[in-house]
Amino acid sequence: MKKCALVTGASGFTGRYMVEELSAAGYDVVGLASDALDDSANYISADLTDHAQLIEVVTSLQPDVVVHLAALAFVGHGDASAFYNVNLIGTRNLLEALCACDKKPEAVLLASSANVYGNQSSGFLSETALPNPANDYAVSKIAMEYMARLWMDKLPIVIARPFNYTGVGQDEKFLLPKIVSHFRRKAPVIELGNLDVSRDFSDVRSVVNAYLKLVKSCPQGETFNVASGSIYSLMDIIQLCTELTGHAIEVTVNPDFVRTNEIKELGGDASKLTGRIGDWKKAELRETLSWMLLG
């Protein structure tokens, strides 16, 4: 009999790939989401902020493993309170619902964010770097991590802190999909902000593979960076897109997009993750961009 895997935020960008990854690994996947869904998996419409509804849904499922991806993730979202209602209180509701189940799950992975580190440290950050969140999204995520520790004697929780990642289907309000979109439609010009900053970018397919391996090994109470370990500047990315498409694009700096005091180089040290799960499907950025640009 297949084990039941519950994925929250299953209709979102990461959720769709997570459902595919778990299904390919032999799980019977149930997706939890609050919006319109397709027929590629079993989905249940539920709102994380509806405490009573969530308890009813989760206790009826009795999941064997849980991957909690549902979150308000766009940093520029205008309603600050929504970050806390969904990312903090919604997660607490989920953990309480899981504790109400007759059967304790084998693993509960909570997706946090490398945004919790803020912009005060440069280089390749490990999990020992002190959190220094710089916006409400990041504060809501570190608050979620601290809140989750109240439940770690009751549930097998593992926390993942992904650095930037991308892939087909990510909203164009995020940086790399914006750049890819300009190249796909052969736009003559693109407006960007700081051109000399370098960041760590992973492939969403790599990220969900790491999540699967963490669920299977379930290092309870541990926190792991999920990162490629390589950094690229915006101009590096523009150059890769030019090489892949043969299209040259003029890059202009829009002062409205420039962030003051931004760290020049920032990446993730994923050695703790690799030490725990071994090799995982890390794709090079050129491969990811080729997939996004050329299909």
Whether 149 is covered by a domain: the verdict is yes
Whether 8 is covered by a domain: the verdict is yes
pLDDT of residue 13: 95
The CATH number given to whatever domain includes residue 210 is 3.40.50.720
Question: pLDDT tens, 8-25?
Answer: 999 999 999 999 999 999
User: Residue 49 — φ and ψ, nearest 5°?
Assistant: -85, -5
Whether 288 is covered by a domain: the verdict is no
**147 burial via Cβ count (<10 Å: 0-12, 13-18, 19+):** middle
Whether 287 is covered by a domain: the verdict is no
Whether 99 is covered by a domain: the verdict is yes
pLDDT of residue 158: 98
If one counts the domains in the chain, the total is 1
Question: pLDDT tens, 215-272?
Answer: 999 899 999 999 999 999 999 999 999 999 999 999 999 988 887 767 788 899 999 9
Q: Which of 17, 137, 165, 232 is catalytic?
A: 137
pTM of the model: 0.94
Q: ∠ CA(233), CA(237), CA(239), 5° rounding?
A: 115
The answer to whether 46 and 53 are in contact (CB under 8 A) is yes
Whether 243 is covered by a domain: the verdict is no
Boundaries of domain holding 160 = 4-166+203-227+268-282
Whether 63 is covered by a domain: the verdict is yes
pLDDT of residue 125: 94
d(CA 154, CA 88): 18
Query: What type of residue sits at position 244?
Result: L
How far apart, in Å, do the first and last CA atoms of the chain sit? Answer: 36
Whether 152 is covered by a domain: the verdict is yes
Give the alpha-carbon dihedral of 195, 264, 166, 64, to 10 degrees: -170
pLDDT class of 48 with cuts at 50, 70, 90: very high
Is residue 232 part of the annotated active site? The answer reads no
